A and B are shown apart, each in its own frame.
Chain A
Amino acid sequence: MTQRVGIEVSRAVAIAAKLANVDVVAAYPITPQTHIVEDLSEMVASGELDASYIPVESEHSAMSCCLGSASVGARTFTATASQGLELMHEVLYVASSMRFPIVMAVANRALSAPISIWGDHSDVMSVRDTGWIQIFVANGQEAFDNILCAFRIGEDRAVLLPVMIHLDGFQLTHVIEPIYLEEEDKVEKFLPPNDYPIPLDPDNPVSMGAFGPPEIYSEIKKAQDVALTSSKSVILKSWKEFGDAFGRYYSPLQCYRCDNAKVLLLAMGSFSETAMSAIDAMREDGHKVGLIKLTLWRPFPFAEIRDAVKDAEVVVVFDRALSFGGPGGPVCSEIRSALYDLEKRPKVIGFVGGLGGRVVSAAGFREIIEQGTKIAREGTEQEYEMFGVRE
């Protein structure tokens, strides 16, 4: 019988990787990710998990080790955050372009300078275009479940792409939540062994990572984009099968009390759960408001987004990252772009907040929704609003 236990979310993520029976973990310590790989190294040390744990000398090497181990068909896991993700940056492109199904947990954290160990989504947004499948989780259970799904999705022959699971640093990684930790045999049934089609093997030699002259580069990039875009069907199928097996279903986005809502708030990650309280309170007061919690960041769920907002008048997008000198929040920018060509479209108002660990309370989200509604009505000269900033 599956038990629901109170456990730190980082530890649950590590247990998920163990249940996935990973072969190689290569990692470098960085707050707030470190608990995940500490736990994995303990499991390896105690014999609870049979894997090679590579305590690398940098995140660049962590991801490079992952390339190597994935290239020989080993199931590969790592975790990082913030500057670590930045240091991996160029390697991330190689992982997706070379079609290695690596799974990485990212404990989302702000970027320097000034140095901040606390959470926001600046790190994620800088790797938005690296070609990885990217999933945002809002709580510990979602983190646990989606680590398992990530292997299933990434290793699917029709996909063969790396997957990032984004979980908010501290707000998720360091909190204890009640989580169903699934049983090994059930996980084994859901997650078949990694069967990478062309591992490096002297009996069947292949050249990987040859250079692409202009005659072929564009075709390769187009093929890569098609692969990422079409991975959505496998993602949906895997989530469905996960739900059938474990009773918890996921989807690219979830609508919370969106029925007849005129104003929708859109958020990603753990803050969306706080926002739910604001929606509840406002609904009680008779406001027609709802929440869209965006889970699938890449491939971007255009159809689902368009459908979810079709009856709304205003969409207020809450970003935890800032595109300097640009349109404000990257998520808002993408939502706006996704809706622009629609004949009937809601006004899209962008808010940036929750940077570097700054908390946004339920009351704060209520303020954001109210202010956003007002801006939609009255207009503004600003490209975006920064919530709760002292000017």
Chain B
Amino acid sequence: MEKFSVFAPKLVTKKENFAPGHRACVGCAEALAVRLSMKALGRNVIVVNATGCMEVVSSPLPHTSWFVPWIHTLFENAGAVSSGIESGLKATVRKGKRQPQKISVVAMGGDGATSDIGLQAISGALERGHDFLYICLDNEAYMNTGIQRSSATPYGASTTTAPAGKQSIGQITWKKDMPSIAAAHNIPYVATACPSYPFDLMDKVKKGAHMPGPAYVHILSVCPTGWRVSPDLAIKIGRLAVETGVFPLYEVENGNYRMTLDMQELRPVKDYLKLQGRFRHLSEETVNEIQQRVRHDYAKLKEKIECTQKRKS
């Protein structure tokens, strides 16, 4: 791993496919996730963007940050638009109306577009087996409209529609497990990633795009604005999410689970929570509750990985 990080940067293209000058907030790890993804994808790609932060910051007419063909239509339909593009490309190539060329169709949406409003369209696209990659850029709330809770907001986080108060800890539901929902469609590839681990992220995005059939990559993207953290801590907090087991990095390839970064020992979740204003109000009791849940979920994931190993041996 260390060696990889020493040598790999030289192998990564310097060419940007997502131009600087967009209007993302300072320290936005989501913009970084897009930039890294686009490096990994190259230019033979069509990007389908759901409404959300990345669409807004990258495309105020007459400007665009996209060096690749890019389309945005609505909030909840990126899965369906991708299905149409993939089918349209297939049909026109088959009928000789378009030159054959390997084009990756890549949909991108935030956690709201993915786990809430667009879930049906994504499920449909995954189930029908379209050859495309869906990237969820998860910053754990509706950041574009001003930090409202989504089903991907973690337990105990304070948001503008689930604020902490005398009668509430903020979010009272546990984060929807979107990667598992994607994996339940029995698609060839599902992975989690975080821009704090750029090479791992790029590997997974590339793998997902090149895998025939549907693929899903869920990227945890620290949002300094919405998480109430200092912009210079975005990378560190992403690492802490992984090191504490809050957001494990793993992949599911043809049903086989694999940790891509296995933590022998998890850091206490407190290390992750305490840096973020959105968790500032949490009592020790709630922090312990979260700690237990993280341990439990991590153990569950490890079981799946052990199952895979047993099956293979």
A51 beta carbon closer than 8 Å to chain B: yes
A66 to B80 alpha-carbon distance, docked (Å): 9
B70 beta carbon closer than 8 Å to chain A: yes
A64 touches B84 (CB 8 A): yes
B101 beta carbon closer than 8 Å to chain A: yes
A98 touches B73 (CB 8 A): yes
Tell me, rounded to whole Å, the shortest Cβ–Cβ distance linking B121 to chain A. 5
B60 touches A213 (CB 8 A): yes
B34 beta carbon closer than 8 Å to chain A: no
Chain B at the A interface: SS class = mixed
Please provide the chain A residues from 81 to 114 with a CB less than 8 Å away from any CB of chain B in the complex: 90-91, 94, 98
Q: Which residues of A contact B73 (CB under 8 A)?
A: 64, 67, 91, 94, 98, 209
Partner of A54, one of B46, B120, B128: B128
A61 touches B83 (CB 8 A): yes
B175 beta carbon closer than 8 Å to chain A: no
A348 beta carbon closer than 8 Å to chain B: no
A327 to B49 alpha-carbon distance, docked (Å): 41
Q: Which of A69-77, A148-156, A163-171, A351-359 contacts B (4 or more CB under 8 A)?
A: A69-77
Q: Which of B43, B63, B81, B121 gathers most chain A CB within 10 Å?
A: B81
A205 touches B85 (CB 8 A): no
Q: Which residues of B contact A50 (CB under 8 A)?
A: 91, 94-95
Place the interface of chain A in its size category: 35 or more
A208 beta carbon closer than 8 Å to chain B: yes
A56 to B92 alpha-carbon distance, docked (Å): 20
A312 to B230 alpha-carbon distance, docked (Å): 75
Please provide the chain B residues from 74 to 109 with a CB less than 8 Å away from any CB of chain A in the complex: 74, 76-77, 79-92, 94-95, 97-98, 101, 103
B70 touches A65 (CB 8 A): no
B88 touches A61 (CB 8 A): no
B64 beta carbon closer than 8 Å to chain A: yes
Q: Which residues of B contact A211 (CB under 8 A)?
A: 55-56, 59-61, 72
A70 touches B88 (CB 8 A): yes
Partner of B88, one of A24, A204, A210: A24
A51 touches B91 (CB 8 A): yes
Binary A-proximity of B13-49 (CB < 8 A = 1, otherwise 0): 0000000000000000000000000000001111011
Partner of A56, one of B49, B70, B83, B91: B83
Tell me, rounded to whole Å, the shortest Cβ–Cβ distance linking B106 to chain A. 12
B56 touches A65 (CB 8 A): no
B66 beta carbon closer than 8 Å to chain A: yes
Q: Which residues of A contact B95 (CB under 8 A)?
A: 23, 50
A65 touches B120 (CB 8 A): no
B61 touches A216 (CB 8 A): yes
Binary A-proximity of B214-227 (CB < 8 A = 1, otherwise 0): 00000000000000
B174 beta carbon closer than 8 Å to chain A: no
A52 touches B88 (CB 8 A): yes
Q: Chain A: which residue is nearest B61 at the CB level? A: A210
Partner of A23, one of B43, B81, B97: B97
Q: Which residues of B contact A60 (CB under 8 A)?
A: 76-77, 80, 121
Q: Which residues of B contact A56 (CB under 8 A)?
A: 80, 83, 124, 128
B261 beta carbon closer than 8 Å to chain A: no
A147 to B75 alpha-carbon distance, docked (Å): 30
Partner of B91, one of A74, A94, A201, A208: A74
A207 touches B64 (CB 8 A): yes
A71 touches B71 (CB 8 A): yes
A199 to B69 alpha-carbon distance, docked (Å): 9
A65 touches B84 (CB 8 A): yes
A26 beta carbon closer than 8 Å to chain B: yes
Q: Which of B69, B79, B121 gathers most chain A CB within 10 Å?
A: B69
A69 to B101 alpha-carbon distance, docked (Å): 16
Q: Which residues of B contact A213 (CB under 8 A)?
A: 60-61
Q: Chain A: which residue is nearest B95 at the CB level? A: A50
B83 touches A202 (CB 8 A): no
Q: Which residues of A contact B165 (CB under 8 A)?
A: none
A50 to B45 alpha-carbon distance, docked (Å): 25
B72 touches A57 (CB 8 A): no
B81 touches A67 (CB 8 A): yes
A55 beta carbon closer than 8 Å to chain B: yes
Q: Chain A: which residue is nearest B42 at the CB level? A: A202
Partner of A72, one of B68, B79, B88, B120: B88
Instruction: With A60-B121, A207-B59, A207-B64 as known contacts, state yes or no: A91 contacts B74, CB within 8 Å.
Output: yes
Residues of chain B whose beta carbon lies under 8 Å from any beta carbon of chain A: 43-46, 48-49, 55-56, 59-64, 66-74, 76-77, 79-92, 94-95, 97-98, 101, 103, 120-121, 123-124, 127-128
Supply 13 further A-B pairs (C-beta < 8 A) apart from A61-B80, A64-B80.
A23-B88, A51-B91, A52-B90, A60-B76, A65-B81, A67-B73, A67-B84, A69-B88, A74-B97, A193-B97, A205-B66, A208-B71, A209-B72
In the complex, 21 of the A-B residue pairs with CB atoms within 8 angstroms, ordered by the A residue number, are A23-B88, A23-B95, A23-B97, A52-B90, A56-B124, A64-B83, A64-B121, A65-B81, A65-B83, A65-B87, A67-B73, A68-B80, A68-B88, A74-B97, A94-B73, A200-B46, A202-B69, A206-B70, A207-B66, A208-B71, A210-B72
Pairs of residues from A and B, 10 with the lowest C-beta to C-beta distance, nearest first: A68-B84, A69-B88, A74-B88, A64-B80, A57-B124, A65-B84, A64-B77, A61-B80, A52-B87, A210-B59
